Amino acid sequence: MQAQTEFFDHGGYLETVKGVYKNEGFIGFYRGCVPPFLGSMMYRSTQFAILDATHTYYQNNPTMTKQIPYTMGLEPRVIAAGLLAGFTRSIMECPFEYAKVNRQTGQNWQFTHIYKGYMIINVRNAGLLTSFFILLDFSRRNTKLYETKLGQFVASGTAACMSFWLIWPLEFLKNQIQAENVHFGNTIRERVKNILKLHGPMGMYRGIFAGSQSIFFRNGASMIVMQAAQKKLTQMGLRD
């Protein structure tokens, strides 16, 4: 939706939903679902593995476990985990995101272009995962949300939405670049300038309503599954 020029020209969210359903039927909403499905299994599991590994690696390091003043207990190792996970995820995610965006916009993707938009994805993921891990860590230390499955769902879904809202303009620009959409220009500067000129600051947040729905539910559900899997692995003696 973010990468489709017609989204800007024909009324927005509801009109786009109606148009997709009218032209392609219900299956049209799943166009391009295979690349993110395959990619998510790898990079989403990897990012949490990095969080656990970083926490464990620095657990006896006085510098990395020293609480940062005025943060209600935040430790530097959480920030380090977010930055490292963001970099790692970008390497794994970029090809799948490129294929997804091109499938969703009805284009053929090229293998030689699979890392198109990598730099902006890297910046996006660094901000996304660092803020996401900070918010999750805050919930674990200062609330009782993780004591129930509903609480886990709400904590993860809310943290994911807040993190994505922070970096949404980068998500939007990433989709424009990977779709090779020249409607707003060829460079990042040209795209930002023209979008702001034509649609104002909120133009950079197009698609956030639909995106937030997806982000909240998928991250909430994945947290419940992850917590259950970690509990099972611990019982089997495969995780400390």
Q: What are 184-194's pLDDT values in tens digits?
A: 788 888 888 88
24 residue type, one letter: E
Put residue 224 in one of left, alpha, beta given phi > 0 → left and psi -120 to 50 → alpha: alpha
Ordered structural domains, the chain, with CATH = 6-235 (1.50.40.10)
Q: Which residue has the higher pLDDT, 52 or 151?
A: 151
Place 1 in a pLDDT band, splitting at 50, 70 and 90. very low
Nearest CA to 80 out of 98, 59, 107, 99 is that of 59
Q: Is 47 within 8 Å of 129 (Cβ atoms)?
A: yes
Q: What average pLDDT does range 112-135 have in this prediction?
A: 94
Pair of tokens at residue 183? 């409607």
pLDDT at 237 over 90: no
Q: What share of the chain has pLDDT > 90, as a percent? A: 44
Q: What average pLDDT does range 108-136 have in this prediction?
A: 92
Rounded to whole angstroms, the Cα distance separating 170 from 174 reads: 6
pLDDT at residue 143 in the model: 95
Average pLDDT in the chain? 86
pLDDT at 24 over 90: no
pLDDT at residue 167 in the model: 94
End-to-end CA distance of the chain: 43
- Length of the chain, please? 240
Q: Which residue has the higher pLDDT, 203 or 73?
A: 73
pLDDT digits (tens, 9 = 90+) for 52-86: 899 899 999 999 999 999 999 999 999 999 999 99
Kindly provide the residue ranges of all beta strands, DSSP E only, lying in the chain, ordered along the sequence.
Answer: none
How many CB atoms within 10 Å of residue 200?
10
Rounded to whole angstroms, the Cα distance separating 45 from 83 reads: 16
